[in-house]
Amino acid sequence: MKRRKNDERKVYQSLAMVTQFGLNMIVPVCAMSAVGVWLDRRLGTSWITILFFVIGAVAGGQNVYRMAMRMCGTEKSDRERVFDEDDGSGEKDE
pTM (two decimals): 0.67
3-state secondary structure of 89: coil
Contact residues for 50 (Cβ-Cβ < 8 A; gap 6+): 36
DSSP state of 87: T
Cα 19 to chain centroid distance, Å, stands at 12
- Model confidence pLDDT, tens digit, residues 79-93: 666 666 665 555 555
Burial classification of residue 28, based on how many CB atoms lie within 10 Å of its CB (0-12 exposed, 13-18 middle, 19 or more buried): buried
Sequence ranges of the domains in the chain: 2-85
CA distance 30 to 52: 10
- Model confidence pLDDT, tens digit, residues 19-44: 999 999 999 999 999 999 999 999 99
